[in-house]
Structure 1
């Protein structure tokens, strides 16, 4: 993707990995498509800050506390299974985490 962006902008590759990457040729065509698309409204206000931990209860509090662990401050350092559960909880609230993703753990 980065190689395609560089080519669209007309800038040279930043390193050898970019230079040897295959651009995304199959994503583009020579003719424009003017078909309208459906724009979805933002469900989370972009100017809303995270709530303070002291105002949260139950699973909201638990997962907010877990996501603030130092391991999640760096790339690829946190527990993937825990992060999946955190993201599931905040996007699905009271729906149970699917067993097929749960591994050994139970909700």
Structure 2
């Protein structure tokens, strides 16, 4: 099951695990990824701004003016922030981009 626009509670994730369900949660910043890890989720979906021109942010930040973080930068930030597996989402169109997110 995947969640976006917020992090489920630990209780929700635990209930999914009890029935053998894998839980993935979207994150658009390193701070959001840390919250995902604390929820007990199995993986974090790092969603860059290239994902259809939008990001599933957990809360609006008026200081950014709607600008988001590009996928390659976000994956690097999330990799430093958490130990969960990372699913890269948003704007992967060429082989070089695939190689970059796998590095």
- Name the TM-score class by shorter chain: under 0.3
Higher strand proportion: 2
Relative contact order (C-alpha < 8 Å, sep 6+): which is higher?
2
Greater C-alpha radius of gyration: 1
